[in-house]
Amino acid sequence: MNYTQSEIWLIIGIMAVGTFAIRFSFLGLIGAGAIHPLIERMLRFTPVAVLPGMVAPLVLWPTSAGGEPTLWHFMAAAAALGVAYKTRKVVWGMLAGCAIFFGPLIIGLL
């Protein structure tokens, strides 16, 4: 399906307004009041839940390697999961996964 440039900008604008409305409905209207402790506790897990949701499709259905997952994909995912679980730091898990996945490429360039 082909869109004109003005249609693309209209879609982007509608999405921006929709995103703002969703965020404002929570942060702007409810943000001034007290949040129930149960909801506040659940919100702490949002980044931890979003990261696997973004990474899992890249591991299971990668666009590289002809769309087939390779051993490197699974090794990097396992390293990221193991390091993040052991250290309880998502950033260290991400760095470990990147090191395993891109390590051979970087070493090959040196």
Indicate if the pLDDT at residue 10 is higher than 70. Answer: yes
pLDDT, tens only, 33-89:
777 889 888 888 887 788 778 778 888 887 765 678 888 889 999 999 899 899 988
Q: pTM above the 0.85 mark? A: no
- In sequence order, what DSSP letters do the residues of 53-82 get, joined into one string? HHHHHHHHS-SSGGG---HHHHHHHHHHHH
- The amino acid at residue 90 is V
Instruction: pLDDT band for 15, please (50, 70, 90 cuts).
Output: very high
CA distance 56 to 75: 13
Q: What pLDDT score does 1 carry?
A: 76
Q: What pLDDT score does 49 carry?
A: 82
